[in-house]
């Protein structure tokens, strides 16, 4: 297949001929023919801002969860915290959470999906809250990379309104 098969044919602009309808406005308004004047329409550059807002929200929520987790402040049967240099933000021991993140009890406090609590204690809010929780840095990074590569393209194509509703 050549480029001539793919690319649209260059058509000359329709000019009005004096007194003749065939080459004038009637031909331009004929059904099925589309003429595009590139000078009359400006291309608008889209800035995908809602995806960047979701990314920032996810990172902020992860930092808050790690602050509340406070690994050095709790005794841990699995050993010492990983990355003690981070102090309060250090991760649970790798034997407890290999994704470099908080403890499961901290995630439960913030709304992790626990079937018993959703069904028997009627905590339906966990269905929404769990969307924003991440089990660790590795989980957060993989989700945010996917969000950036896929989300920005989708937002450019469909607009922020549809992407926002889909995320919720």
Residue 25 lies in a domain: no
Residue 116 lies in a domain: yes
Task: State the average pLDDT for the chain.
Answer: 78
Residue 5 lies in a domain: no
If one counts the domains in the chain, the total is 1
Residue 41 lies in a domain: no
Choice between 90 and 78, residue whose per-residue pLDDT is larger = 90
Residue 4 lies in a domain: no
Q: What is the CA radius of gyration of the chain?
A: 28
Task: Identify whether the C-beta of residue 94 lies closer than 8 Å to the C-beta of residue 136.
Answer: no
Q: For residue 129, give its domain range.
A: 49-167
Choice between 9 and 124, residue whose per-residue pLDDT is larger = 124
Q: What is the pLDDT of residue 145?
A: 95
Check whether 114 has a pLDDT greater than 70.
Answer: yes
Neighbours of 43 (CB within 10 A): 6
Residue 11 lies in a domain: no
Stretch among 77-81, 94-98, 139-143, 162-166 having the lowest mean pLDDT? 162-166
Task: Identify whether the C-beta of residue 107 lies closer than 8 Å to the C-beta of residue 133.
Answer: yes
Neighbouring residues of 73: CB distance < 8 A, sequence distance ≥ 6: 88
pTM over 0.85? The answer is no
Q: What is the pLDDT of residue 46?
A: 67
Check whether 91 has a pLDDT greater than 60.
Answer: yes
Q: How far apart are the first and last CA of the chain?
A: 43
Residue 17 lies in a domain: no
Residue 96 lies in a domain: yes
Q: What is the pLDDT of residue 42?
A: 52
Check whether 143 has a pLDDT greater than 50.
Answer: yes
Task: Identify whether the C-beta of residue 66 lies closer than 8 Å to the C-beta of residue 99.
Answer: no
Question: SS3 of 91, please?
Answer: strand
Which band of pLDDT confidence, cut at 50, 70 and 90, is reported for residue 65? Answer: very high
Q: What is the pLDDT of residue 37?
A: 47
Task: Identify whether the C-beta of residue 100 lies closer than 8 Å to the C-beta of residue 134.
Answer: no
């Amino acid at each position: 297949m050549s480029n001539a098969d793919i690319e649209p044919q260059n058509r000359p602009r329709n000019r009005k001929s004096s007194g003749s309808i065939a080459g004038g406005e009637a031909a331009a308004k004929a059904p099925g023919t589309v003429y595009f004047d590139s000078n009359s329409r400006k291309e608008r550059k889209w800035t995908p801002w809602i995806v960047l807002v979701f990314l920032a929200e996810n990172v902020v929520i992860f930092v808050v969860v790690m602050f509340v987790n406070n690994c050095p402040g709790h005794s841990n049967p699995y050993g010492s915290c990983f990355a003690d240099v981070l102090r309060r933000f250090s991760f649970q021991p790798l034997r407890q959470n290999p994704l470099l993140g908080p403890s499961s009890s901290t995630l439960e406090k913030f709304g992790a999906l626990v079937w018993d609590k959703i069904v028997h204690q009627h905590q339906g809010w966990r269905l929404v809250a769990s969307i924003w929780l991440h089990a660790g840095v590795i989980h957060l990074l993989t989700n945010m990379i996917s969000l950036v590569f896929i989300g920005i393209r989708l937002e450019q194509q469909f607009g922020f309104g549809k992407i926002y509703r889909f995320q919720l």
